[in-house]
Amino acid sequence: MKPEAFFSILSDPTRLRTLMLIQAEGEVCVCELTFTLNESQPKISRHLALMREAGIVESRREGTWMHYRINPLLPNWAQEVVQHVFDQLTGLSPYIDDKKQLAQMNNRPERDCA
Protein backbone atom coordinates (compact mmCIF):
# COMPACT_ATOMS: atom_id res chain seq x y z
CA MET A 1 0.00 0.00 0.00
CA LYS A 2 1.32 3.39 -0.97
CA PRO A 3 1.05 6.12 1.67
CA GLU A 4 -0.40 8.52 -0.91
CA ALA A 5 -3.32 6.18 -1.61
CA PHE A 6 -3.88 5.52 2.10
CA PHE A 7 -4.05 9.21 2.99
CA SER A 8 -6.14 10.01 -0.09
CA ILE A 9 -8.77 7.49 1.03
CA LEU A 10 -8.83 8.96 4.54
CA SER A 11 -9.07 12.55 3.35
CA ASP A 12 -12.84 12.14 2.96
CA PRO A 13 -14.72 13.07 6.17
CA THR A 14 -17.21 10.19 5.92
CA ARG A 15 -14.45 7.63 5.44
CA LEU A 16 -12.40 9.07 8.30
CA ARG A 17 -15.39 9.03 10.65
CA THR A 18 -16.18 5.49 9.53
CA LEU A 19 -12.64 4.33 10.20
CA MET A 20 -12.61 5.97 13.62
CA LEU A 21 -15.84 4.13 14.54
CA ILE A 22 -14.38 0.85 13.33
CA GLN A 23 -11.23 1.48 15.35
CA ALA A 24 -13.30 2.29 18.44
CA GLU A 25 -15.64 -0.69 18.15
CA GLY A 26 -13.35 -3.30 16.61
CA GLU A 27 -16.05 -4.20 14.13
CA VAL A 28 -19.22 -2.47 12.95
CA CYS A 29 -22.16 -3.33 10.76
CA VAL A 30 -23.23 -1.14 7.86
CA CYS A 31 -26.53 -0.51 9.65
CA GLU A 32 -24.63 0.87 12.66
CA LEU A 33 -22.74 3.25 10.40
CA THR A 34 -25.86 4.46 8.59
CA PHE A 35 -27.55 5.09 11.95
CA THR A 36 -24.57 6.83 13.51
CA LEU A 37 -23.51 8.96 10.56
CA ASN A 38 -27.10 9.63 9.40
CA GLU A 39 -26.21 8.65 5.84
CA SER A 40 -27.85 6.35 3.31
CA GLN A 41 -26.85 2.70 3.06
CA PRO A 42 -25.62 3.10 -0.56
CA LYS A 43 -23.38 6.02 0.41
CA ILE A 44 -21.87 4.17 3.38
CA SER A 45 -21.43 1.00 1.32
CA ARG A 46 -19.69 2.93 -1.45
CA HIS A 47 -17.21 4.43 1.02
CA LEU A 48 -16.61 1.04 2.63
CA ALA A 49 -16.03 -0.53 -0.79
CA LEU A 50 -13.31 2.02 -1.53
CA MET A 51 -11.68 1.32 1.82
CA ARG A 52 -11.95 -2.45 1.27
CA GLU A 53 -10.49 -2.23 -2.24
CA ALA A 54 -7.58 -0.21 -0.84
CA GLY A 55 -6.98 -2.92 1.78
CA ILE A 56 -7.77 -0.69 4.78
CA VAL A 57 -10.79 -2.67 5.98
CA GLU A 58 -12.12 -6.16 5.44
CA SER A 59 -15.68 -7.41 5.53
CA ARG A 60 -17.59 -10.47 6.60
CA ARG A 61 -21.20 -11.41 6.06
CA GLU A 62 -23.37 -12.73 8.84
CA GLY A 63 -26.83 -13.44 7.48
CA THR A 64 -28.07 -10.14 6.07
CA TRP A 65 -25.48 -8.10 7.99
CA MET A 66 -22.17 -6.90 6.54
CA HIS A 67 -19.56 -6.27 9.22
CA TYR A 68 -16.33 -4.36 8.73
CA ARG A 69 -13.10 -4.28 10.68
CA ILE A 70 -9.65 -2.90 10.08
CA ASN A 71 -7.65 -5.25 7.91
CA PRO A 72 -5.21 -7.07 10.21
CA LEU A 73 -2.79 -7.30 7.25
CA LEU A 74 -2.60 -3.51 7.00
CA PRO A 75 1.08 -2.52 6.99
CA ASN A 76 2.47 -1.64 10.41
CA TRP A 77 3.02 2.00 9.48
CA ALA A 78 -0.65 2.31 8.46
CA GLN A 79 -1.88 0.55 11.62
CA GLU A 80 0.19 2.98 13.68
CA VAL A 81 -1.23 5.94 11.77
CA VAL A 82 -4.80 4.73 12.38
CA GLN A 83 -4.12 4.28 16.09
CA HIS A 84 -2.40 7.65 16.41
CA VAL A 85 -5.18 9.49 14.55
CA PHE A 86 -7.77 7.70 16.69
CA ASP A 87 -5.94 8.69 19.89
CA GLN A 88 -5.83 12.33 18.79
CA LEU A 89 -9.40 12.62 17.44
CA THR A 90 -11.41 10.44 19.82
CA GLY A 91 -12.27 13.33 22.16
CA LEU A 92 -13.12 15.82 19.41
CA SER A 93 -16.35 16.54 17.59
CA PRO A 94 -17.76 14.88 15.48
CA TYR A 95 -15.94 11.72 16.63
CA ILE A 96 -17.10 11.89 20.25
CA ASP A 97 -20.63 12.64 19.02
CA ASP A 98 -20.47 9.59 16.74
CA LYS A 99 -19.64 7.32 19.68
CA LYS A 100 -22.55 8.79 21.68
CA GLN A 101 -24.93 8.34 18.75
CA LEU A 102 -23.89 4.72 18.23
CA ALA A 103 -24.40 4.01 21.94
CA GLN A 104 -28.04 5.14 21.54
CA MET A 105 -28.78 2.63 18.77
CA ASN A 106 -31.33 0.01 19.77
CA ASN A 107 -31.20 -3.52 18.39
CA ARG A 108 -27.58 -3.46 17.29
CA PRO A 109 -26.69 -6.65 15.43
CA GLU A 110 -24.90 -9.36 17.37
CA ARG A 111 -21.17 -9.47 16.79
CA ASP A 112 -18.78 -12.35 17.04
CA CYS A 113 -15.98 -10.67 18.91
CA ALA A 114 -13.89 -13.83 19.17
- The pLDDT assigned to 112 comes to 43
Q: What's the CA gap between 106 and 78, in Å, rounded?
A: 33
What class has domain 3-103?
mainly alpha
Distances (CA, A) of 57 to 30, 92, 104, 107: 13, 23, 25, 24
Looking at residue 108, its pLDDT comes to 85
**How far from the centroid of its chain's Cα atoms is residue 93's Cα?**
16
Paired with 70 in beta bridges are 57
Span 36-48, pLDDT tens digits: 999 999 999 999 9
User: What does the domain layout of the chain look like in residue ranges?
Assistant: 3-103
The residues of the chain scoring below 50 in pLDDT are: 112-114
